[in-house]
Every structure is written in structure tokens, then in C-alpha cells.
Amino acid sequence: MADVPATPTPTPPSASPGTSAKRGKQAPLIDPARIRNFSIIAHIDHGKSTLADRLLEVTGTVSKRDMKEQLLDDMDLERQRGITIKARAVSMRYTHHGTEYELNLIDTPGHVDFQYEVSRSLTCCEGALLLVDAFQGVEAQTVANAYNAIEHNLEIIPVLNKIDLVHARPEEVKEEIEQTLGLDAEDAIGCSAKTGLNCQAVIDAIIARVPAPTGKLDATLQAMVFDSVYDEFRGAIIYVRVMNGVVRKGDRVKFLQAGTAHEVVELGQLAPRRVPREHLSAGQVGYVVCNIKSLGQVHIGDTLSVAQGEPAAALPGYEQPKRMVFCGLYPSDGQDFENLREALSKLQVNDPSFVFEPETSDALGFGFRCGFLGLLHMEIVQQRLEGESDIDLVQTAPNVTYRIKVKDGDWIDVHTPQRVPANGDIEDFQQPIVRVSFVLPVDYIGGIMKLCADRRGVFVRQEYLSPTRAMLVYDLALAEVVYDMHDRLKSITRGYGTMDYELRGYETGDLVRLDILVKGERVDALSIVCDKRDSETRGRAVIKKLKEEIPRHMFEVPLQAAIGTRVVARETIKAMSKNVTAKCYGGDISRKRKLWEKQKEGKKRMKSIGQVDIPQKAFLAVLETGEEEGRK
């Protein structure tokens, strides 16, 4: 392994008048040639967070006394679920052959929903460790993340984790890497992140093979904002990667996209806790505090530059997150509406890929229509809201974004079924299509092919990664994927199958809005958009569930599923009835008829003025199981 030559530390560039004179002696700037910025990319559960723990240990950044598992996963939810949700950055110092290097690791999530976090992190790196489980091999998300890193022109170092397992098959996995990803796996490093075996070699490879940053210390300040967190006392704390120049405490800086200028009150690096520094220079990764109290002023992907003089050019931002799944979130207690708004606002600074807007529902009251990257993302946000803000939530059925061309020629984006126009006003109804890659044992190919055929999937290709594992690729409607595809995949493949998907675009579909009517009135919270061929079974499943959950009233309650004015399914909740002829023993039948007619008139009058009480548990029961039962 070639040694990297040590280079002398450069002298600081001349600062602008009125800055360095006030500060006195400054710490020397670090030469960008001694910096390595890298990321760890892998499929979920292949050991990213554990390897990050070992690197912190080997470099001495964290002492063994302070060490705990998943050190960078500092959210309670991350530790409970054993997954990484937020990208984290940490700086490590390590001496290699007499030269001290600064290693900046940007830890990334592995789940398909958090692909946006991965993209942001890779933009700030020059290299990546492609971590592959030595037993499980290449999985769907491994392929997606590797291609993502290749697109960002990163130096990729293959690392095989868990080689200490009895069933590890490193040679076969190397073949899978070469065959599937086209990478040279001859120099792949075998290690065990759990025991620390060979983790020293991983650090040596990072220093030798990851290119140093190319930024210039004497250029105008240019830094990329790649993340932000909200602190209750300090406001927004911004994570940056400095591309060119130097930023110091007390400098006036400008966010080019937002157009706002602020004074830097503190800056520093994460090791892994916040450590204040005098400056951040080209190539370094750290945090900046500017006393930003307004949450809307931070834009992820923005460029930080100088406020006085000519600012640097704005860096090309990475693609905006695509919110593909929408649902309504309502406080179960109407008094919590403002608390929910505040909690959502705080969460949005931590998670810019999540959006929300106010909406009202006749059934559920005031709430918010929220947009997410995927179904797991939606679940995570809901759990964070309930855990961190102590708000009990009611969630409506998830749906995807549709594009509709109305009769006057305008295109509209629809995030909620209630906003779908009447059938007569729709000229073209389009839905998002995704390309789904399934990686699974060959024994289960037939089951997955049948699952995709049932959901009107279009077969694209089939590849064999090894004699026992294959990759199937299908084009499917996103609505078919987000509801329960992941659960069905795990069920069919006994837990061995994995999947990843990417948006291909929008295609015209035979889609309709299915309304649920209770006593002739539409219940907006239960409307869904579905394929016309599924509408009858989906409608029947929902109203059967409603019939079980809505209590009987003193009058008959009809339940209907309808497309426009056409009813496709119906159930009736029978009225509670009193035996009004119980005291009539024998005698003339006309007496009984008179009592029955009187009862009938009363029921008729009650039906015209009576309101149907739909309990909240009825909504929840339908939202939880209606989708799955509609497919049976």
C-alpha cells in the first residue's frame, strides 16, 4: 500500500482588513492534502453504524469508556429500530507514518426512503466505503447506492463485513460485486466491524485511496449546507462542507439561495460531540451557528459565502427530494392543533424532505396534509411526532401524487383523493411509475413474478447474481408498491428478499376516485384513488369493515362505495328495534298493524333528522386493514 507523502502546513491567507488584526494569533490552517472526506454506503443492516463505531475507536476519537453501540445514531428512534435515519458527520484525527490526517466520515442511512439523505452526503465526499455483508452479499440497496456513488465520481473501496461469521462466503460475494456492479473487488478489504478485526486496514485504505479535497485556502469562501438540526436554545445549527476559502468566528456570511446575511457566532467540528474551533478551511466538514431563529431561512443544498464584496459562485445543488407519499395527520384531541403545527415546523428543519400544509376534514376536524419520501419515512415522522412532542395522532390512508389533465387543458398535481375532479372533467389521469429491483433467492422467483403480475407489473429483465440468487426488475405503479409491497415481499421470500425502486415518470392509467358514503353523505377521509378494475373489491372491503365498527342506530344506515354516481358496493346496518307488540296477546291483528305503522313513521322521521355517529376507531380500523383486504 503506497504511503501518501506528508506536505507542509501552509501559512494562512491574508484576511480582509479589520478581521485578523482584532483576533491576534490564529491557529494554523490545515492543508487540504491531509484531509479525507468519505462516506459509508450499504444496504440496511449490513453494519454501517457498527463500522463507524470501530473507526471512532481505532482513531482514538472516542475512548472505550465512552463507547456505546451505534454511537452516531443519537435519536431514540434510531436506537430502538436499529436503523440510521439522519445523516451524521464526525471528524477524526489519525497519525499515519508520522503525518496527522483529518478523516471526515459522513454516516448515511441505508433504507430506500432515505435515499435523499445519501445523495446529500455523497456530494460532500471524495470517496466511499461500499460495505457488503460477507454472508448476505449484494442486496437491492447496495446496487442503488453504488450507482449513486459512481454518478458522484467517488473513489469506491469495497469492504466485506462480518467475515468472522461461520457462514461467510467472501469469495462468492466478491464475484457478485464484480458481476453486478462492475467494480474490481480483487482488493476488497475483509473485516469484522463487530470485533474490530482488520478495521486498521480500512483506515489505511481510506488514507491511501481516497483523493484529497481540491479546494483552495486563499479563494473566496464557498461552503455547501448539507444538513441542519434545530436546537431549542441556539436555533438552527447548520452542517457545512467548506469547498474553498476559510470561515472564521465573527465573519459575516451570506446564504446565496435564501439571500440572507448573518454573523457567525460559533463554528466547529463534530468529534462526535460539537467541539468549537477558530476556523473551518477548504476541505473541512463542520457546523456553523448564526443565531438563525426563523426556521424557514435554512435551505439544504444552499451555498454559504461572504456577505461583503463579491461572493463565490453558487454550488450546483443536488436534486430536490421527491415527496411521493401523502397522508393526513390529525390530532386526536382538537385542542392539540397548534401544538402539532409547532412540532411539524421544528421537525421540518431537521428533515427538509418532509412537507406539510393545513387541511380540514368533516370527519376528523383540523389537521395537516403531509408529504413523505416513502412509507417508512411516513412511519418514522409519525413516531417522532408522538415521541418527541407527546401528541396522539390519527393518520388517514396514504396515497401517492397523481397528475390530472382537466378539460380546459391544464395539468394539476393531486396529493389527496378529495381533490380529484369529477370523472366528466378529467381528460387524462396519470400515476407515478417506478422501476423496482428485487434481489432474492432463486427458489422464490415464481412467487414474486405472480405478485407483480397480479399488480399489473411490466417485466423488464432478470439477472442471476450467483447460482442461488437473482435480481428481478419490474415496472410497477408506485401506488401498488407503497402500500404493502415490502411486507408481501418479505412474506413470500421468508425474509430473504430485498427491494429498491426509482421513479421512472408518469403514465396514463385507468384510475377512478372511489367514494365511501354513509347515509348518502360522502366521508372525505375514506376516499381513495384506485384502478377501476379493483374498485369493486376495494369498496366492498372498506364498507364491510365499516359495518363491523359503526354501532347500530335507531334507524337503518346504508353504507355505499361509489364511483361518481354509480354505486359499486353496498351494505346496510340494521336499525335497533323495539318489540312494540310484546304486550299484545291475541286480539285483533289491526291493533298490531297500527303499532307497527306508528313505529315505522317514527323511524322515518328519525332517519331524516338523525346523524350517524362514526367513532374514530372505525376510521382507524378501515385505514389499517382496508388496503390489504381489498386485494384478497
536: CATH:
3.30.70.2570
* 249 annotated to a ligand binding site: no
Sequential DSSP letters for 404-462 = EEETTS-EEEESSGGGPPPGGGEEEEEEEEEEEEEEEEGGGHHHHHHHHHHTT-EEEEE
Amino acid letter for position 516? I
More confident residue, 575 or 342: 342
| Contact partners, residue 594, CB within 8 Å, separation at least 6 | none
Domain that holds residue 619: 512-629
φ and ψ of 102, to 5 deg: -105, 115
Residue pLDDT, tens place only, 470-507: 899 999 998 888 777 888 888 898 888 888 888 888 89
* 82 annotated to a ligand binding site: no
Q: Per the domain annotation, does 311 fall within a domain? A: no
Mean pLDDT calculated for residue range 366-384? 82
Residue 220, class by beta-carbon neighbours within 10 Å (0-12 exposed, 13-18 middle, 19+ buried)?
Answer: middle
* 360 annotated to a ligand binding site: no
pLDDT-based confidence at residue 108 (cuts at 50, 70, 90): low
Q: Per the domain annotation, does 18 fall within a domain? A: no
Name which of 215-219, 311-315, 390-394 the model is least confident about. 390-394
Residue pLDDT, tens place only, 417-429: 878 888 778 888 8
Give residue 611's Cα distance to chain centre: 40
* 162 annotated to a ligand binding site: yes
Please check whether residues 38 and 81 belong to one and the same domain. Answer: yes
Helix axes 140-151, 170-181, angle to 10 degrees: 50
CA distances from 321 to 228, 301, 374, 561, 581 (A): 15, 11, 11, 35, 67
Please say which residue of 463, 489, 508 terminates a domain: 508
Q: Which of 39, 205, 207, 204 is nearest to 125 (CA)?
A: 39
> What is the domain-level CATH number for residue 237?
2.40.30.10
Name which of 3-7, 55-59, 262-266, 539-543 the model is least confident about. 3-7
> How big is the CA angle at 322 (ends 261 and 294), to the nearest 5 degrees?
25
What is the predicted pLDDT for the residue at 624?
A: 56
* 83 annotated to a ligand binding site: no
State what percent of residues in the chain have pLDDT above 90: 21
More confident residue, 218 or 228: 218
Q: Does the structure show a pLDDT above 50 at 180? A: yes
Grid cell digits, residue 83: 436503523
Q: Does residue 595 sit in helix, strand or coil? A: helix
When divided into structural domains, the chain yields a total of 5
Please check whether residues 36 and 175 belong to one and the same domain. Answer: yes
Tell me how far apart the alpha carbons of residues 520 and 556 are, in angstroms, rounded to a whole number: 12
Please check whether residues 146 and 54 belong to one and the same domain. Answer: yes
Please check whether residues 521 and 450 belong to one and the same domain. Answer: no
Please check whether residues 33 and 162 belong to one and the same domain. Answer: yes
Q: Per the domain annotation, does 15 fall within a domain? A: no
8 Å CB contact between 545 and 622: yes
Q: Does the structure show a pLDDT above 80 at 449? A: yes
Q: Does the structure show a pLDDT above 50 at 335? A: yes
* 617 annotated to a ligand binding site: no
Q: Per the domain annotation, does 13 fall within a domain? A: no
* DSSP tag of 540: H
Mean pLDDT calculated for residue range 118-142? 85
Q: Per the domain annotation, does 320 fall within a domain? A: no
Q: Per the domain annotation, does 317 fall within a domain? A: no
Q: What is the mean pLDDT of the chain?
A: 80
* 332 annotated to a ligand binding site: no
Q: Which of 526, 279, 262, 286 is nearest to 394 (CA)?
A: 526
* 281 annotated to a ligand binding site: no
Please say which residue of 379, 397, 415 terminates a domain: 397
Q: Does the structure show a pLDDT above 50 at 21? A: no
Q: Per the domain annotation, does 5 fall within a domain? A: no
Give residue 593's Cα distance to chain centre: 65
> How big is the CA angle at 88 (ends 84 and 92), to the nearest 5 degrees?
125
Please check whether residues 71 and 200 belong to one and the same domain. Answer: yes
Please check whether residues 493 and 531 belong to one and the same domain. Answer: no
Please say which residue of 255, 276, 306 terminates a domain: 306
Q: Per the domain annotation, does 499 fall within a domain? A: yes
What is the predicted pLDDT for the residue at 626?
A: 41
What is the predicted pLDDT for the residue at 32?
A: 92
Give this prediction's pTM.
0.72
8 Å CB contact between 31 and 8: yes
Grid cell digits, residue 619: 376510521
Tell me how far apart the alpha carbons of residues 148 and 136 are, in angstroms, rounded to a whole number: 21
* 49 annotated to a ligand binding site: yes
> What is the domain-level CATH number for residue 147?
3.40.50.300
* 163 annotated to a ligand binding site: yes
Largest CA distance in the chain: 116
